[in-house]
Structure 1
Amino acid sequence: MSQLILFNKPYGVICQFSQHELHPTLKDHIALPGVYPAGRLDTDSEGLLLLTGDGELQHRISDPRWKQPKTYWVQVEGRVSEAQLQALRDGVDLGDFVTQPAQVRQLPEPPALWERKPPVRFRKTVPDGWLEIIISEGKNRQVRRMTAKVGLPTLRLVRVAVGPWQLDGLQPGEMRTLTVSLADLPRTGLAKPAARAPARQGGRQEPAAPAAARAVPRFRFAKK
């Protein structure tokens, strides 16, 4: 059995334990020795970060070959169209790589999240909306690059789930400790190599197959 920490990383916190001259770090929130992040979350992103002192568990969570799905709630600038949603689902050519098919849906109304500090800056003349995006990759700033590529710049990004673990109930800076067994973890993706970028023909990107539909969990947060 291994210890797993679920931590709600606040906006502006860097995913490292060493001190930083400009930003708070994990050391300012987590006093437990010998634990390390299983994956990362950008400084300007919020939400679920997993930590453990078990190297094998850390590998099972963070290695993309295991394809642990990561669920994000993304506030974007602009009026969302079905064409933009489908582009995100099919895979987006970001220049250095093409994203794998994603599960994407428009949230009917903004989730009841905590107030971000500092607050998001809005333009009164430009509409905004919320998306739920589920990916199994985790390249640098991938979700932000995806939404920007289809014309929907990200205003706020909150990760609410990684694999079977959810943020439910945790407020910024709070954590929950679980005991997990490697034998109980989902084994999807291990026998399959990471999907390759769709082949190009005639200079145009061939559309990727859409992600398989599955039930999407609904998360609830109480306003702080």
Structure 2
Amino acid sequence: MLLAFNKPFNVLCQFTDRSTPPRRTLAQFGLPKGVYAAGRLDYDSEGLLLLTDDGALAHRLTDPRHKEAKTYWVQVEGTPEQAQLQALRQGVVLNDGPTLPAGVEWLREAPRLWPRDPPVRFRKTVPDAWLALTLREGRNRQVRRMTAAVGLPTLRLVRVAVGRHALAGLAPGQWRQLG
């Protein structure tokens, strides 16, 4: 079984949480028993999370050797310059080494998304922009670290696709079974 789930902001990618106070988890969303996240999506990120009950499938989806493409819509602080976009395309050096090149597109209009709760803080004097960023590796907080490294801090991060699987109209907290 493979499920697509639209993980809301500030939800853990696991079914239990031992922190105090406890954070929201996947247990609240009526997912079938026996599935688990195939990969991670940070607590403060949103969007497509694949869940499965098939260990071999989870391995194929998450093992870096398979280089499964993951596409994100990223709201960044600032107006991107060509040099910043090119740096992302070439790969940037992070504290754990250089990244692989990324696919980057400046989205001239904000994508149509659900409102985030709480909303991203709006500042009249600081512009923001949206990028579509595609990675083929999955380091811890990689998108946020890459955009910060080129001077475009991430304000909001939404994963919209993993390989051929897309978010495609799921509202936050909704899930559907995939083929």
Is the pair's TM-score, using the shorter chain for normalization, greater than 0.5?
A: yes
Bigger mean CA deviation after superposition, 164-173 or 11-20 = 11-20
CA deviation map 1:162-204 (0-9, x unaligned)? 000000010000001023xxxxxxxxxxxxxxxxxxxxxxxxx
Runs of 4+ in 1 over 2 A off after TM superposition: 19-22
- Shift in Å, 1:65: 0.7
CA deviation map 1:123-147 (0-9, x unaligned)? 2211000000000101000000000
Preserved CA contact (<8 Å) 1:8 1:173: yes
Preserved CA contact (<8 Å) 1:19 1:27: no
Partner in structure 1 of residue 109 of structure 2 = 109
Compute the TM-score of the two structures, normalised by the length of structure 1: 0.77
- Shift in Å, 1:19: 3.2
Question: Is 1:52 aligned to residue 56 of structure 2?
Answer: no
- Shift in Å, 1:23: 1.4
| Larger strand percent | 2
Distance 1:17 1:10 in 2: 14
Distance 1:101 1:12 in 2: 29
Distance 1:122 1:164 in 2: 33
Bigger mean CA deviation after superposition, 114-123 or 157-166 = 114-123
Partner in structure 1 of residue 148 of structure 2 = 148
Larger radius of gyration: 1
Let me know the Cα RMSD of the aligned residues: 0.9
Compute the TM-score of the two structures, normalised by the length of structure 2: 0.96
- Shift in Å, 1:30: 3.4
- Shift in Å, 1:95: 2.1
Distance 1:178 1:146 in 2: 31
The one-letter amino acid of 2:8's match is P
Counterparts of 1:45-194 in structure 2, within 5 Å, are 45-179=45-179
- Shift in Å, 1:111: 0.3
Distance 1:170 1:31 in 2: 14
**What is the percentage of aligned positions where both structures have the same residue?**
63
Provide the aligned length of Structure 1 versus Structure 2: 177
Partner in structure 2 of residue 5 of structure 1 = 3
Partner in structure 1 of residue 35 of structure 2 = 35
The one-letter amino acid of 1:97's match is G
3-state SS of the aligned residue for 1:157?
Answer: strand
* Structure 2 spans left out of the alignment, 5+ residues: none
Distance 2:30 2:58 in 1: 17
Distance 1:147 1:98 in 2: 13
* Structure 1 spans left out of the alignment, 5+ residues: 180-224
